[in-house]
Amino acid sequence: DCDWGMRTIPFAGAAVPLMADIPVWKMMEKLQKTYPERRDEIVEMLGIDLNWRMHQLSDGQRRRVQLLIGLIRPFKVLLLDEVTTSLDVCVRQDLLQWLVRESEER
């Protein structure tokens, strides 16, 4: 039983492998209960389908899920490594705007 995204300092990096045969919603079970509004906002921004199965995702879809795990919990410090790798232009722009807004609100 993994506590995906429950770290005090979230990290979303290119080298984080997520290949298990598990749906996204299952990975997010604990976080969904704790931060449902934030989850909904980030899922919509990144265009994630919570029924996606991790072992079937493209690199871009997997990157979106990594970002969801890293961003869903409010943070004081956020470490991002090659955050826009594998993202399409529209999602990249939405993500960067969201990060700026998050930074300004803190």
pLDDT, tens digit, 9 for 90 and up, residues 54-83: 889 898 998 899 899 888 888 888 888 788
pLDDT surpasses 80 at 13 = no
Is the model more confident about 83 or about 90?
90
Distance from the Cα of residue 72 to its chain's centroid: 7
Q: How confident is the model at residue 92 (pLDDT cuts 50, 70, 90)?
A: very high
Q: Quickly tell me which residue has 């960067």 as its tokens.
A: 96
Q: Which residues of 52-80 are buried (b: 16+ CB within 10 A; e: fewer)?
A: bebeebeeebbbbbbbbbbbbbeeeebeb
Kindly state the average pLDDT of the residues 19-23. 77
Instruction: Assign domain 11-105 one CATH number from 3.40.50.1100, 3.40.50.300, 3.40.50.12640, 3.10.180.10.
Output: 3.40.50.300
pLDDT, residue 2, reads 52
SS3 content of the chain, % helix, strand, coil (to 5): 50, 10, 40
**Rounded mean pLDDT of the chain?**
82
Instruction: Give the start-end residues of each E strand in the chain.
Output: 11-13, 79-81
